[in-house]
């Protein structure tokens, strides 16, 4: 069964609105979650590392005020795309690692497809 669940699977919104995407770890507590973005026919690009109880760490070039990440519990991280514009349309994917696994296999959500009109 699924280890990581994302919601919603897809969302369409108007330009200027904000959209929240949830990522839930179903099988274990995740102190760290990762958020990726993927444009069509491209690879996954890491956006940020979400840390439970503290601020997220953003990759270079990713605007932290644009992509708000909240990791308030050990099973839930949220990504909010604020004032979305058409160029933010993308496939957003979260992943978690079971901290009990030293070799660090990552589990990925199903992805959330955002379309901004």
Instruction: Give me the residues that bind other proteins (CB under 8 A), please.
Output: 4, 6, 31-32, 34, 36, 43-46, 49, 51, 91, 93, 95, 97-99, 101-111, 113
Cβ distance to other proteins smaller for residue 82 or 111: 111
User: CB of 32: closest distance to other proteins in angstroms?
Assistant: 5
Q: How far apart are CA 19 and CA 9, in angstroms?
A: 12
List the structure tokens of 63. 């605007």
Q: How far apart are CA 21 and CA 80, in angstroms?
A: 6
DSSP string, 8-25: -SEEEE-TT--EEEEEEE
Cβ distance to other proteins smaller for residue 19 or 95: 95
Cβ distance to other proteins smaller for residue 10 or 15: 10
């Amino acid at each position: 069964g699924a280890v990581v669940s994302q919601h919603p699977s897809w969302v369409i919104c108007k330009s200027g609105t904000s959209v929240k995407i949830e990522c839930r770890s179903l099988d274990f507590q995740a102190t760290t979650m990762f958020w990726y973005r993927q444009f069509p026919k491209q690879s996954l690009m890491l956006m940020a590392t979400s840390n439970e109880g503290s601020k997220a760490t953003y990759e270079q070039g990713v605007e932290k005020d644009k992509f708000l990440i909240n990791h308030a519990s050990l099973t839930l991280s949220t990504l909010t795309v604020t004032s979305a514009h058409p160029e933010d349309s993308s496939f957003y994917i979260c992943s978690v690692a079971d901290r009990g696994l030293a070799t660090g296999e990552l589990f990925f959500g199903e992805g959330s497809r955002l379309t901004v009109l």
